[in-house]
Structure 1
Amino acid sequence: MSYGGERVARRKDIDGSSSVPGLYGKELRWKREAAGLSLEKLVEGSFYGKSHLSDIERGERRMPLELARHVDRVLGTDGYFERHCEDVRRARRGGHAEYFEKVLEAEKHALTIEEWCPILIPGLLQTPAYARAVVLASLPLSLDEEVEEKVSGRMARAELFELDHRTPEYWAILHESLVTDPILPPSEMAEQLDRIVELAERRRITPQLILRKLGAHPLMTGPAKIMTFFDAPPLFYTEALHSGDTIDDPALVAEYRKSYDRLRAVALAPKASLAMIKSAAEDYRNGKQPDRFE
């Protein structure tokens, strides 16, 4: 297949019936090829690269509003892609809040993900029972199907640990209380800690603990998540009960980066942390409340 003298390899067709993003991506490719444009030609004049557009065509990435407008203008599609890009964004959220949308996308393309979790075990590491308890505590009047949609969404995020060629380097610093102060029955707490141990022993994650006895330390005011990428600036994310904030200002992200590195420096070493998590899991399995770490 040739466009303007440029040779383009024919790729596997997209199954537009599989999802809203898949249907959107298939339509985008059909319109692009009907116009005789390569990926490079279509993104020319925008701030995005051909790999970003290719991911959209495969249903793997959302269409930013400014890119949708650019595509409509170049292809003469009378606002079609702008009108429908929000449908795709909603479909991709999968039970997550709108403010979490950037994080959902970023996790799939990150080189590294580093989290500090003072209050809850992070969503990427949660078991269904833990996720369900968190959702019900935050939104106690939710219908069963709404709860299960949110739980399924969290479980789907963890699939990135199973994709060897795309697994990011993941580092989680957890407060001791997440291990020793249960929010679930003992057997379910054991299962939750076993999940962390299993991922660590498969070398998919590196966990560290911040002990209670440490006292004052960096990032005491709330959770933190830093993500880096091959072809984009790093992002910092933090959240409260019903809101979240994604920061991409390089200077501000650099300051958060320093705080995270200082926190990691005072955390318990990964090997010792994992041993304590294993010990707590065994206590829960035996119906025993783990002792606070001293």
Structure 2
Amino acid sequence: MNRKELDPESSPEAAFGARIRRLREERGWKQEELADRMGYSGTHISAVETGRKMPTLRFSRNADQVFGTGETADTFERQYREIRHGSLLEGFPQYVGYEGRAVEIRLYEVGIIPGLLQTPEYARALAEGDVWRGSITPEQADDRVSFLAERQAALVRPRPPTMLVVMDESCIRRQVGGDGAMAAQLDRLLEFAELPNTVLQIAPFDMVERRPFNLPMNLLTLSDLSAVAYAESQMRGHLERDTTLVLPLLAAYHQLQAESLSQAASVAMIREARKGTP
């Protein structure tokens, strides 16, 4: 029997495949046995184990169910997310885990509408732009949009988190996805501003040097009152859980809110921008 030896360090896909193989062999299962348990063919299992086929979200979740890793800190789904998003979103899978159980979410965004407030059409347009530039594949674009929908759904709970959102004015001025998609997106923002657990503000262009952040910032407060921060540069993301480092970011966010337009003035600006779309 020919057996391809894998170097788990050679790539994230190889690490994923090697882990599938290791857990399968620890249980004494042949590839066909695992295939039956997961609902795939033996050929498919072989291709994933040897790194010839990329794992999918469904495959990863099935693996977590079969191997009992779904409730652990190192799930196959998390490993899959890291493969899909790569270094651009380092720390992001962990951040999303905190986001789903946060009691308070503070967001600041520049240039695009924050993901948690995006409509499917707006999110699809952004993803397809990345496909056109060649930075992601069409399959990765599909995964990005579906992953965003999952994040948004996780916030629809009996006691939803308080959401405080500040957007740079560029977010509502930049046309994404055409007039129709942009009009629907601005309508979504107006609906968001009416919710009882939200505050929406615009940081206007004339705020200039008074703006405390130059890059997007995500700040979470958890039920135990601990705080988590997540920020991305062009190349990678960073998750910060050290309270002594997160508290100054919270203070800066309070300054940002104080300098930004009130929610009433922000809504008026969004309505004005909406008039320019059909």
Superposition TM-score, scaled by structure 1 size: 0.65
Residue 21 of structure 1 contacts residue 92 of structure 1 at CA under 8 Å; is this kept in 2? no
- CA distance in 1 between counterparts of 2:275 and 2:59 reads 42
Q: Counterparts of 1:81-100 in structure 2 under 5 Å? A: 85-91=74-80, 96=85, 97-100=89-92
| Aligned-pair CA distance for 1:210 | 0.7
Aligned residue-pair number: 218
Identical aligned pairs, as a percentage? 26
1:210–1:274 CA distance, 2 compared to 1 (3 A): same
* Superposition pairs of residues 151-166 of structure 1, within 5 angstroms: 151-165=145-159
Q: Which moved more, 1:204-213 or 1:257-266?
A: 204-213
CA contact (8 A) 2:64 2:75 kept: no
1:241 to 208, 215, 234: 234
Residue by residue over 1:244-277, the C-alpha shift from the partner in whole angstroms, topping out at 9 and shown as x without a partner, is: 0111111110111111110110010012211221
Partner of 1:144: 138
Q: Larger relative contact order (C-alpha < 8 A, sep ≥ 6)?
A: 2
Cα shift readout 1:127-150 (whole Å, capped 9, x = no counterpart): 222222323444522332221111
The letter of the residue matching 2:263 is P
Q: CA offsets, 1:69-112, max 9 Å, x none?
A: xxxxxxxxxxxxxxxx3414235679554531111101111010
Match for 1:63: what amino acid?
Answer: T
CA distance in 2, matches of 1:279, 1:217: 24
Indicate if the aligned counterparts of 2:111 and 2:174 stay in contact, CA closer than 8 A.
no
Distance in 2 between residues matched to 1:120 and 1:152, nearest whole Å: 18
Paired residue secondary structure (1:110): coil
Tell me the distance in 2 between the aligned counterparts of 1:112 and 1:22: 32
- Measure, in 2, the Cα distance between the counterparts of 1:248 and 1:231: 13
Q: Please tell me whether the aligned partners of residues 21 and 91 of structure 1 are also in contact (alpha carbons under 8 angstroms).
A: no
Equivalent position to 1:185, from 173, 178, 183: 178
Specify the code of the residue in structure 1 equivalent to 2:76.
Answer: D
Contact (CA 8 Å) 1:24, 1:88: kept in 2 or not? yes
Where does the alignment leave 5 or more consecutive residues of structure 1 unmatched? Answer: 1-15, 29-55, 65-84, 286-294
Q: TM-score, normalised by structure 2?
A: 0.69
Partner of 1:128: 120
* Matched position secondary structure for 2:163: strand
1:150–1:129 Cα change, 3 Å: same
Counterpart among 253, 257, 265 of residue 264 in structure 1 = 257
Partners of 1:181 and 1:120 in 2: CA distance: 7
Q: Which runs of 5+ in 2 are unaligned?
A: 1-37, 40-57
Q: Distance in 1 between matches of 2:230 and 2:90?
A: 14
CA displacement, residues 199-252 of structure 1 (integer Å, 9 cap, x when unaligned): 222335321001111221233321111101013621111102331011111111
Determine if contact 2:90/2:238 at 8 Å carries over to the other structure.
Answer: no
SS at match of 1:207: strand
Measure, in 1, the Cα distance between the counterparts of 2:256 and 2:195.
25
CA distance in 2, matches of 1:94, 1:279: 41
Equivalent positions of 1:1-294 (< 5 A) are: 24=64, 63-64=72-73, 85-91=74-80, 96=85, 97-139=89-131, 140-141=133-134, 142-165=136-159, 167-231=160-224, 233-285=226-278
